[in-house]
Amino acid sequence: MRVLGIETSCDETGIAIYDDQQGLLANELYSQVKLHADYGGVVPELASRDHVRKTVPLIQAALKDAGLQGSDIDAVAYTAGPGLVGALLVGATIGRSLAFAWGVPAVPVHHMEGHLLAPMLEDNPPSFPFVALLVSGGHTQLISVTGIGEYRLLGESIDDAAGEAFDKTAKLLGLDYPGGPMLSKMAQQGQAGRFTFPRPMTDRPGLDFSFSGLKTFAANTIRGNESDDQTRADIARAFEDAVVDTLAIKCRRALDETGFSRLVMAGGVSANRTLRSQLAQMMQKRNGEVFYARPEFCTDNGAMIAYAGMVRLKAGNTGGLGITVRPRWPLAELPPV
């Protein structure tokens, strides 16, 4: 059984084909980073228009790479939310239309479930139950996962997501969009301990996050110091250390609360090397395990949508003829498998 996956929730156009016997057969990805760089962030209308231009050619490329035709596809999965409404509608319209033309089911997929299941694409996938840290530009959530669709929200950011805070702080440091990865690279040259940033909301019980204050603290620190390269690197180091420490502290609390011994992290920020290293050390001390996807499956991609679509297809969770997207869509509303 083969599923074509379409991801167009924001500023990446991702297309993939997943086979339940052979695994991933094709994976195409186009990033709009250069398109939005001049504006310092994603422009929704430009994102939607670019998805219109790129989605069909990428589908054709994926079919060619896999040596398949449309008649070889058994279902079409597409991201139905959450995300930018215009961008979502592009993928949903194309996906639903192809499914109708090919006479196969269409499977609407939750974007964050796609991220959560991305580590399942690896050779050593996690088994249930586990705590999931979903950390990206739009979301920072801790979730108790006892099965597919069995999700309980433990905590989330009450303001900026971690990835959003990375990008905003990078902009304050004069880095181009998207600045998060560039800030992390700069932080590698920074001196630990020169600046000390707060670890927000770790001095009180609970599993919620807040990162907007770190951005303000960074802005004040930047204004109060000389803007030479080393100082900027030291500030980047202090900021990254604060975010990583905060995420690790909250993950530790979530594991204590649930009693689980497995931790899964997913989303764009899960590619951060410092975060991976610290969580690996933490789980080793706890005699537990940490799982994450390879870097190219941490950011938005079609492979995770194709895989999640396969899981939902086998459970009978297919869509009707209507084209419906949900820019806001709580993960806990998904039915269990």
153 is in an annotated binding site: no
Residue identified by tokens 């090919």 is 102
Tokens of 218: 């960074």
136 is in an annotated binding site: yes
193 is in an annotated binding site: no
- DSSP letter at 319 equals -
* Closest C-alpha to 301, from 68, 21, 31: 31
123 is in an annotated binding site: no
167 is in an annotated binding site: yes
111 is in an annotated binding site: yes
What DSSP string describes 32-74? -HHHHHTTTS--HHHHHHHHHHHHHHHHHHHHHHHT--GGG--
Residue ranges of the alpha helices (H) in the chain? 33-37, 44-66, 85-102, 111-117, 162-172, 180-187, 212-223, 229-258, 273-285, 302-314
Give every strand in the sheet of 140-147, ordered side by side: 150-156, 140-147, 130-135, 262-266, 289-292
40 is in an annotated binding site: no
144 is in an annotated binding site: no
d(CA 73, CA 70): 6
180 is in an annotated binding site: yes
Binding site, by residue number, is 111, 115, 134-138, 167, 180, 272, 300
Annotated binding site for substrate: 134-138, 167, 180, 272
Query: Residue positions in the annotated binding site for Fe cation?
Result: 111, 115, 300
